[in-house]
Chains A and B, each alone.
Chain A
Amino acid sequence: MAISVEGANKRFGDFQALKDVSIEVPEGSLTALLGPSGSGKSTLLRAIAGLETLDSGTIVIDGQDVCKTPVQKREVGFVFQHYAAFKHMTVYENVAFGLKIRKWDKKKISARVHELLDLVQLPGLADRYPSQLSGGQRQRMALARALAVQPQVLLLDEPFGALDAKVRKDLRTWLRRLHDEMHVTTIFVTHDQEEAMDVAGQLVVMNEGRVEQSGSANELYEHPANEFVMSFVGEVNQLGEHFVRPHDMEIVLDPDDRTQEGLVQRIVTLGFEVRVELVLSDGTEVWAQLTRAELQRLELREGQIAYLRPVQAKSFNGSPPSYPRGASTPLGSHDGGDAGVPAAV
């Protein structure tokens, strides 16, 4: 079922969580709401579910304005970051909850619950209590519980946020496969750009209560609308007005009119990839991503002078950056959830 939100505003006290937000989610798609904490992504998701009411704006699911529909009538499946498992119920009772509310008969419930437990790969754990499950198992149980009632849409709020890195990777691959099988319109919230790009077909990047840009992972990476999007969906160096991806930084040994001089501070070899960190004459710290072969050809050493030539750079004059200045991100992805990227000194 297609979802469309228009002109959504929501205020909590002095904090404006959503500022005139509009998004379109096509039927059957898998969409990620991506942004740092406090960007309004969870509020938007909860508003779609009916767990928050908007101050103004409309939410349309499958052609129906649902703003006046209470949460229990919206037919949405919702998965919480911390599972929200019913602790006093077994796995079976948890998954059966929505079906019992809908007064299904016992045999049908039993068949459906076991079908779902197979789907989420938890067969044989029906009689366990949530406290006897691992985090990943609990989240799969929560997913089975949400899917049991055949929701029109599936909403996941940082579903893998509380899990460790390995389980997280497994589960996101698994979620994508599940979505390919079920085709239920799915929106999930994350602050991890890698996770969003890995799982979702469509990304909506949010910041400070606004939608900065939406599109496919490739569109956002190649054609970011502004500095914020550019630095949030990938790594970036700032050279004056220009923003350059580390893999678009060429290092040469002979200067010309397009190069800038820099001092090689550190060379980090990460398997195939080599990261060269440099300081420019004005004190800006940048880094370039090279292959091993390139490094060997250049015979770079720490402490030597080299010259940088941006192959492809972007500038966003006219759209004032809403992102803290200094966008060098030598430490990789933004999965810390905050926008506090180490600033270039």
Chain B
Amino acid sequence: MAGSATSRWGLRVLGLGYILLLLLIPLGFVFYKTFEHGIAPPFEAITSPDGMHALKLTLITVAIAVPLNTVFGIACAILLVRHKWRGNFLVDAAINLPFAISPVVIGLSLFLLYGTTGWFEPALAEAGVKILFSVPGMVLACIFVSLPFVVRETVPVLQEIGTEQEQAASTLGANSWQAFWRVTLPAIRWGVAYGVVLTTARVLGEFGAVSVVSGSISGQTQTLPLFVEKQYENFNLPGAFGASILLALLALATLLAMNLLKRKEAA
């Protein structure tokens, strides 16, 4: 067993070293830089009107994109797993597109549809709806990039639970809606929850696609990641780092919330 002890320690050092070097040291450095001159500079940057607006806008995109992608993701997973048909492989492949395509390309594609020469432009102009350089465009971009997470996390658990519990529910008098709410959804809830956390993290941090469609107008179409970039460009490092930390904390909070829920359930 001596050999395995060596390899165990080797693996530990390698794994921890990798995380330390590439993840924890850069993140730690951000923390250090942020508070280098005390808590006031980053605090001021975040609580400035533009900072607060960026926070609000970020939370709005999360509040719209995450529920939509959750509902769509569950429905899509059920379609893929429970209602097999020939077109399924196409749906399956299409869902992975946002993973495969660069967010910048996604942003540009929205331009082609909603831009001044875009397909939908005449109809939208007539209705007086503005998509690009405003919140709807940013939400669309976020939905696009974060679409696969809930589907991808839900499909395997849905496959694993099988159909017998649902069939049992139906023999006990439950219609398909009742069977879904009382049996299927509780059974897949942790897969869905994990998908929701990943979706939230992705929407919070999305930069590329949002940056293309938003125009990054301070106080109007700036989410937190865009705000960070602007602060950085303006050499306001404490502001940039402060907003970065706020972003990181938001993501951590969603992870923590899921773990707490899970622990509460297990207790």
Complex: how many Å from CA A98 to CA B179? 11
Complex: how many Å from CA A89 to CA B168? 13
Selected contact of A72 from candidates B164, B173, B186, CB within 8 Å: B173
Q: Is B178 an interface residue when CB atoms closer than 8 A count as contact?
A: yes
B168, A84: Cβ atoms closer than 8 Å: yes
Contacts of A102 in B (CB 8 A): 173
Q: Within the complex, what minimum Cβ distance (angstroms) separates B173 from chain A?
A: 5
Complex: how many Å from CA A102 to CA B169? 12
Complex: how many Å from CA A327 to CA B182? 50
Q: Is A35 an interface residue when CB atoms closer than 8 A count as contact?
A: no
**A51-B167 in contact given A145-B172, A149-B173 (Cβ < 8 Å):** yes
A88, B173: Cβ atoms closer than 8 Å: no
Number of A-B contacts (CB under 8 A): 62
B164, A80: Cβ atoms closer than 8 Å: yes
Complex: how many Å from CA A145 to CA B170? 12
Contacts of B186 in A (CB 8 A): 88-89
Q: Which residue of B lies closest to A75 (CB)?
A: B173
Q: Within the complex, what minimum Cβ distance (angstroms) separates B127 from chain A?
A: 43
Complex: how many Å from CA A185 to CA B238? 77
**Size of the chain B interface, CB-CB below 8 angstroms:** 17
B172, A149: Cβ atoms closer than 8 Å: yes
Complex: how many Å from CA A71 to CA B175? 9
A12-45 contact mask (Cβ, 8 Å, vs B): 1 or 0: 0000000000000000000000000000000000
Q: Which residue of B lies closest to A93 (CB)?
A: B182
Selected contact of B168 from candidates A70, A73, A80, A88, CB within 8 Å: A80
**A98-B164 in contact given A86-B183, A87-B187, A88-B187 (Cβ < 8 Å):** no
Q: Which residue of B lies closest to A155 (CB)?
A: B171
**A86-B168 in contact given A97-B182, A101-B178 (Cβ < 8 Å):** yes
**A101-B165 in contact given A87-B187, A88-B186, A88-B187 (Cβ < 8 Å):** no
Contacts of B183 in A (CB 8 A): 86
A97, B172: Cβ atoms closer than 8 Å: yes
A49-78 contact mask (Cβ, 8 Å, vs B): 1 or 0: 111000000000000000000111110111
Q: Is A314 an interface residue when CB atoms closer than 8 A count as contact?
A: no
Contacts of A87 in B (CB 8 A): 165, 187
Selected contact of A101 from candidates B164, B167, B172, CB within 8 Å: B172
**A84-B167 in contact given A97-B182, A101-B178 (Cβ < 8 Å):** yes
Contacts of A86 in B (CB 8 A): 165, 168-169, 183, 187
Q: Is B59 an interface residue when CB atoms closer than 8 A count as contact?
A: no
Q: Which residue of A lies closest to B175 (CB)?
A: A72
**A98-B187 in contact given A51-B167, A82-B164, A84-B165 (Cβ < 8 Å):** no
A75-114 contact mask (Cβ, 8 Å, vs B): 1 or 0: 0111010101111110000000110011000000000000
Q: Is A146 an interface residue when CB atoms closer than 8 A count as contact?
A: yes
**A72-B168 in contact given A86-B183, A101-B178 (Cβ < 8 Å):** no
A101, B174: Cβ atoms closer than 8 Å: yes
Q: Which residue of B lies closest to A80 (CB)?
A: B164
Q: Which residue of A lies closest to B174 (CB)?
A: A101
Complex: how many Å from CA A98 to CA B189? 22
B169-201 contact mask (Cβ, 8 Å, vs A): 1 or 0: 111111100100011001101000000000000
Q: Which residue of B lies closest to A102 (CB)?
A: B173
Complex: how many Å from CA A337 to CA B167? 24
Q: Within the complex, what minimum Cβ distance (angstroms) separates A109 from chain B?
A: 13
B165, A77: Cβ atoms closer than 8 Å: no
22 of the cross-chain contacts (CB-CB < 8 Å) are A51-B170, A51-B171, A70-B175, A71-B167, A72-B170, A72-B174, A77-B171, A82-B164, A84-B164, A84-B165, A84-B167, A86-B168, A88-B186, A88-B187, A88-B189, A89-B186, A97-B172, A98-B172, A101-B172, A101-B173, A146-B172, A149-B173
Q: Which residue numbers of B lie inside 8 Å of A, CB to CB?
A: 164-165, 167-175, 178, 182-183, 186-187, 189
Q: Which 4 A-B pairs have the closest CB atoms?
A: A98-B172, A84-B164, A84-B168, A78-B171
Query: A89-B186, A101-B178 are known contacts; what are 11 more A-B pairs with Cβ within 8 Å?
Result: A49-B171, A50-B170, A72-B172, A78-B167, A78-B168, A80-B168, A86-B169, A86-B183, A86-B187, A97-B174, A101-B174
